[in-house]
Chain A
Amino acid sequence: MDKRFIARGVTRTSQKNFFLWLLPWIVLLIVGIYAAYLCLAKGLNQTNMDNRFAFGLWIYLDLSVIALGAGAFFTGFLLYIMKRKELKAVINSAVVLGLICYSGAVAALMVDVGQPLRAWFTFWYPNVHSMLTEVTFCLTCYLTVLAIEYIPILLKNRQIKNIPSMLVFEYELHKVMVVFAAVGTFLSLFHQGSLGGLYGVLTARPFAYRPAIGIWPTTFFLFIVSAAAAGPSFILVTTWFVSKISKKKLVRPEVLQELGKISGVLLFIYIIFKSIDTFVWLHNIAPSLGFTAGDFYRYGSFGIWILIVEVVVCGWLPAIMLLRKKVRSQTVWLVLAATLACAGIVLNRFVMTIQTLALPTLPFDRYLTYTPSWQEITMFLAVLAYGVLLYSCSFRYLTLFPQERELQSA
């Protein structure tokens, strides 16, 4: 019945199978929307966050998806500005992933911040000295850019492009996409950095505090490079995953290898600076504030292993793997390395958000643990469900992978 909306030359599963695939995600989304309603109607007492643990699962989710969603801006930058034409094969998918990540993050933030009717206050009365204000402005602008970048993909739907005005609008929008790619890059660099800077300026939290280079702490720069490194890896992993689930060849192997190479170079640069930053922090900054490395890694499950996993297993290892052509040429190793790279960045955001708040700072402080409430967890899962639903519908009805038709036999 919906066949006339599916792009020509590609095959998709039956409508019944598609609906069955969507059903559990729809249920999850509905439960999450109910949890969001509870939080908005009754307040944050529905969560297990408190004055000490003001950042919880949602902020961790926001930081993670925004880092992974960086693939959208970075792929756009490489394709439209650096003219890496081979990335045209994944740009549509990258835009959809970016849109999902950023809109999901904004939705979670809206529930977390609360009072949605006063959301405009942040723009009308901005605190220009706050990193969060910068993040809010950039996120809003970049989400607008992503929505605009999604329009041409939507307008290329088989039925929509039959409407002449839509066809021409898509044609004209495509011509100015380089402007949006440049604006997206500018915005992304700043808000990715500001999210990192947010932690680096916490002078009262020696675990997160870092000295400034210019006006920004080192975490500002580390967040930018890490997001740029994780973005292409996330696109690589999702493309491979969608290819496996749909049982279709979506892109040529060289495209995945190229993504792996880009990610590997950036990850290598990131992990060098991350290692230097960690070394300086443990040997100079923390001792100057009265802490030793052991003080940070002796509470609960936050042992030294977490640092080793983040820097070595999910940092150096995938960086070296992705830099080696031999590894990149084997899909299994390529995907494993990219997955490790993504996991490393997600773990970094977890450490910066949760471990920072869990560790005691003052002599009378105690180590705190926090377990999210069911409302927080279902909201978290609802964002995931929303992403799967939007991506699934986009994959079915829009052309996310232009090479798919060519790679598919009749």
Chain B
Amino acid sequence: MFPFIYGFQWNVGTVIFLGLFFFVAIIIGVTLIASMLRTRRAMRTRSIDAIRWEIDFHDLPISARACRHELSGELPQRTCDNGFDCRSCPFHAQCLAQQATTPETISSPSFETIYGFSLPSDRMYHRGHTWIKREDDGTFTIGLDDFAQRLMSSPDSIELPSVGTTLELNGKAWNMKKGDSSLRILSPLDGVVLAAGNGLEGWFLKIKPVASIVNTNHLLNAHEAALWIRREFDRLQNLLSDHTLGATLADGGTPIPDFIAAYPDKNWDKIYCDLFLEV
């Protein structure tokens, strides 16, 4: 194998064969070592929450990753590949530029309710079912949207971050437990926690944003959120159905306050995972 080993001969066959073998072995070794070094560097330079979100996002079902321009009906189908961060999405920027130059843009009726779910128009909505509301003093209030509240109804426990904790967009904002399920609620914004509520007042956290100028372009306005909630409601119905009947006509009515009470036998852990973007 090596020139100093007994019986080694310098000939074409030996050089080609061992050359290829060592080449492959070196590639495997170098790639593995490079991954370890990159891991060490990434742990120093990037936050774990950001990496976790990147991994989780790409593992989400395609139905959960619909682009906001698909929700709005501008496109028949488009799957987001940018972690729902429209601020750095070139496609979103292109769409906004087109809308600005098009005289007649898509009409934006303001919804306060959709399918019985409340969607106040003074808030921006995150795809993890949280909302933010800008306060007069420049801080933001964070809460769960009406759809999520009906899914969780009365959680068994809520684990909120302490005052002073820094939240990262799409990182963990707080934890909730319901039955056997533990749920990680994603933060809709970067910021430092100023106060923690308990949800009874309608909000969970008050935060001070990290940046002086807050860009909320990654969040949905009430109009977009209404279209998205309609999609989420369809997904929920699909998850709750047993797939034996096929499509059925809705019989009207408004959603009940506690979905779990109506479907106690369903796998709610799966439903929570799917609808709250957990993998």
Contacts and interface: CB of A to CB of B under 8 A. Distances in A.
A180 B31 contact: yes
A180 B274 CA distance: 32
A134 B270 contact: no
B258 to A, nearest CB: 16
B164 to A, nearest CB: 21
Contacts of B98: none
Contacts of A44: none
A10 B279 CA distance: 11
Interface in B1-27: 1, 5-7, 13-14, 17-18, 21, 24-25, 27
Interface string A270-290: 000000000000000000000
Interface string A34-69: 000000000000000000000000000000000000
The bracket for how many chain B residues form the interface is 35 or more
Task: Tell me if A's interface is mostly helix, strand, loop or mixed.
Answer: helix
A343 B205 CA distance: 62
B162 interface: no
Contact of B17 (A128, A165, A169, A179): A128
A145 B27 CA distance: 11
A409 B244 CA distance: 11
Nearest to A133: B17
A110 to B, nearest CB: 20
Nearest to B56: A161
A406 B274 CA distance: 8
Interface string A137-162: 10001001100100000000000010
A364 interface: no
Task: Tell me if B's interface is mostly helix, strand, loop or mixed.
Answer: helix
B14 A128 contact: yes
Contact of B5 (A125, A172, A402): A125
A134 B238 CA distance: 54
A280 B87 CA distance: 65
Interface in B56-76: 59, 61-63
Interface string A1-15: 001000011110000
A183 B27 contact: yes
B21 to A, nearest CB: 5
Given A128-B18, A164-B43, A9 B274 contact: yes
Interface stretch (B33-41, B104-112, B119-127, B128-136): B33-41
Interface string A378-403: 00000000000000000000010010
Nearest to A408: B270
A8 B270 contact: yes
B85 interface: no
A148 B27 CA distance: 13
A173 B31 CA distance: 9
B54 interface: yes
A265 interface: no
A167 interface: yes
B32 interface: yes
Between A123, A141, A399, the greatest number of chain B beta carbons within 10 A of the residue's beta carbon is seen for: A141
Contact of B48 (A168, A173, A399): A168
Interface in B240-279: 240-243, 266-271, 273-274, 278-279
A176 B31 contact: yes
B267 A124 contact: no
A161 B38 CA distance: 17
A406 B63 contact: yes
Contact of A168 (B21, B31, B51): B51
B273 A9 contact: yes
B279 to A, nearest CB: 7
A176 B17 CA distance: 26
Contact of A145 (B13, B28, B34, B271): B28
A171 B278 contact: no
A8 B278 contact: yes
A239 B14 CA distance: 42
B52 interface: yes
B55 interface: yes
B1 A125 contact: yes
A247 interface: no
A186 interface: yes
A262 B268 CA distance: 38
Contacts of B160: none
Given A128-B17, A128-B18, A164-B48, A410 B271 contact: yes
B199 to A, nearest CB: 23
B96 interface: no
B239 interface: yes
Given A141-B24, A161-B55, 12 more contacts: A8-B273, A11-B267, A128-B18, A137-B21, A141-B25, A164-B43, A171-B42, A171-B55, A173-B35, A174-B55, A406-B61, A406-B62
* Nearest 9 A/B pairs, CB to CB: A406-B61, A9-B270, A9-B273, A410-B267, A410-B239, A128-B17, A172-B38, A169-B39, A172-B35
